[in-house]
Amino acid sequence: MTTTALTFRSATEADVPALVALVESAYRGDASRAGWTTEADLLEGQRTDPDGVADVVRNERGRLLVAERDGELIACCQLEHREDHAYFGMFAVRPDLQGGGLGKVIIAEAERTALAAWGTREMRMTVIRQREELIAWYERRGYRRTGQFSPFPYGDERFGIPQRADLEFELMVKPLG
């Protein structure tokens, strides 16, 4: 990983096109295969769209945290304050920068930000249960599988086109502070 410092900030609506491109490249299609983890074998189609990203940017209960290096947007994640916890989602690192420790830095900053901004003592996320390598990565960061599952939104192509019939999300949690 290069030694140039990362800077973090909250996304603005001007960032939406670049954020959509980043998220799409990290999750779907051939571009995502440049990284160490992808949903490309599970889902086709889009991961998000400009309206979905803009909704996250405008959400008053959260923020879309952006990581930049030398003024270039290279990673992002969604943080949302939900009652007694923070929700972590839309985590994307540019595929050609994955595997070098950048994700660890981003998630640590997300946890620090959620604790400082809202005083929440727990971070939660949902991960497609079939993404075992990604789940293992989160477990190494201190997240725990709960065994609580929620259905994938089949039939809503805003979230992609499933390539198998058994997709579902598992809730993962981590205490903060």
Kindly state whether residue 49 falls inside one of the protein's structural domains.
yes
Q: What is the pLDDT of residues 101-140, one digit of tens each?
A: 999 999 999 999 999 999 999 999 999 999 999 999 999 9
Number of domains the chain is built from = 1
Q: Residue 165 pLDDT > 80, yes or no? A: yes
Rounded Cα gap, residues 107 and 168, in angstroms: 23
Q: Give the per-residue pLDDT at 29.
A: 74
Give me the CATH number covering residue 41. Answer: 3.40.630.30
Q: Give the per-residue pLDDT at 140.
A: 97
Q: What is the pLDDT of residues 15-70, one digit of tens each?
A: 999 999 999 888 877 777 777 887 888 888 878 899 999 999 999 999 999 999 99
Alpha carbon dihedral 108, 92, 126, 131, in 10-degree steps, equals -110
Kindly state whether residue 25 falls inside one of the protein's structural domains.
yes
Edge-to-edge strands of the sheet including 122-128? 6-10, 62-69, 72-82, 85-93, 122-128, 168-175, 144-151
Kindly state whether residue 143 falls inside one of the protein's structural domains.
no
Kindly state whether residue 155 falls inside one of the protein's structural domains.
no
Kindly state whether residue 171 falls inside one of the protein's structural domains.
no
Q: Residue 1 pLDDT > 50, yes or no? A: no
Q: Residue 2 pLDDT > 70, yes or no? A: no
What is the rounded average pLDDT of the residues 134-158? 94
Q: Give the per-residue pLDDT at 3.
A: 55
Q: Residue 160 pLDDT > 90, yes or no? A: no
